[in-house]
Amino acid sequence: MEMLTKIFGSGARLKTLRLFLFNQDSSLTLAEVAERAKITKDIARHEINELLSADLLRKKGTTTPSRYQVNARFEHLAALDTFIRDTTSVRPQNIMKALRRAGALKLVVLSGLFTSAVEPQIDLLIVGDHLDERVIIAAVRSLEAELGREIRYASFATADFRYRRGVYDRLLRDVFDYPHRLLIDKIGL
């Protein structure tokens, strides 16, 4: 990401670009952009104004608060979208760093948007003991701001996971029957 930050001028610009490009069908308010990209409203306002002046975004409607959306007629939209999607990834060590205070992790599995699986139920599966849901939520929100898209996740206590695995739970089958990647496996899958 550091190389792209240098190319695009700032981390906030890159986060804002990703947010809009990965959510082209959505219109967002200034407050939504600031919250989802984890930047201040002033920085979000500056980045939106820059993207408006580049004609990448357009203001939608006349309602207050103003809503912004990707300009579908932007000349280089397809090329920019392809470039951003191809270069956007979160390294596994960053995911583990974000989750390290969540509890005693036994299993962390990536699927869905991390593995390009089609229509998965979840993108991130977390199993452990004494899991702190608030820490998990904060970690996931941080990763979402980095990626510019929503991450669907599930977290289970180890005993609950073993039970669900034993009864062939559909959610777990959807993860393990399709492409997935184990980051931690202290359970012995």
* pTM greater than 0.75: no
- Which CATH fold would you assign to the domain 92-185? Beta Polymerase; domain 2 (3.30.460)
- Which CATH fold would you assign to the domain 2-87? Arc Repressor Mutant, subunit A (1.10.10)
- Judged against a pLDDT cut of 80, whether residue 120 lies above it is answered with no
Place of tokens 């990536």: 110
At residue 172, the pLDDT reads 92
Backbone angles phi, psi at 28, to 5 degrees: -125, 145
What is the Cα–Cα distance from 152 to 133, expressed in whole angstroms? 14
Domain extents in the chain: 2-87, 92-185
Helix (H) or strand (E) segment spanning residue 57: strand 57-60
- Dump pLDDT digits (tens) for 8-32: 778 888 889 888 988 888 899 999 9
At residue 3, the pLDDT reads 60
Give the pLDDT band of residue 64 (cuts 50, 70, 90).
confident
Q: Within the chain, where are the H helices? A: 2-8, 11-22, 30-37, 41-53, 77-87, 92-99, 133-147, 158-166, 170-176
Residue 29, strand partner residues: 67
Smallest CA-to-CA distance from 67 within 23, 118, 8 is with: 23
